[in-house]
Structure 1
Amino acid sequence: MRFRRSRQEEVNVNITPLIDVVFLLLIFFMVTTTFTRETQLQINLPESQSQRVAEDNKPIEILIDRVGTYAINDKVLIKQDVESLKRALKEMTADLSTPIVITSDADAPHQAFITALDAVAQIGFSKVSITTQAEESN
Structure 2
Amino acid sequence: MEFRPRSNRRPLINLVSLIDILSIVLLFFVVTTTFQREEPAVKIDLPKSVRSKPVRSDLPKIIFVTEDKKIFLDNKPVEPEHLGELLKKTITENPDTKIALKASKNAPFEIIIQVMDAVKFAGIPNLPTFTAEEDKTNRN
Q: Cα offset for 1:100?
A: 1.2
Supply the distance in 2 between the matched residues of 1:63 and 1:120 (Cα, whole angstroms): 13
Aligned pair count reads: 84
Q: Pairwise CA RMSD of aligned residues? A: 2.4
Tell me the TM-score normalized by structure 2: 0.51
Q: Secondary structure at the match of 2:97?
A: coil
Q: Which structure's CA Rg is the greater one? A: 1
Supply the distance in 1 between the matched residues of 2:56 and 2:96 (Cα, whole angstroms): 19
Matches within 5 A, 1:1-138: 51-53=56-58, 58-77=59-78, 79=79, 81=80, 83-94=81-92, 95-136=94-135, 137-138=137-138
Report the CA distance shift for 1:91/1:121 in structure 2 as closer, same or farther (over 3 A): same
Q: Secondary structure at the match of 2:133?
A: coil
8 Å CA contact 1:64–1:71 kept in 2: the answer is: yes
Report the CA distance shift for 1:51/1:124 in structure 2 as closer, same or farther (over 3 A): closer
Report the CA distance shift for 1:122/1:106 in structure 2 as closer, same or farther (over 3 A): same
Q: Cα offset for 1:51?
A: 4.5
Tell me the TM-score normalized by structure 1: 0.52
Q: Secondary structure at the match of 2:132?
A: coil
Q: Cα offset for 1:97?
A: 4.7
What's the CA shift string for 1:50-87, capped at 9, x where partnerless? 8421xxxx52210001111000011112x3x3x31112
* Gapped regions of structure 1 (runs ≥ 5): 1-46
Supply the distance in 2 between the matched residues of 1:65 and 1:92 (Cα, whole angstroms): 22
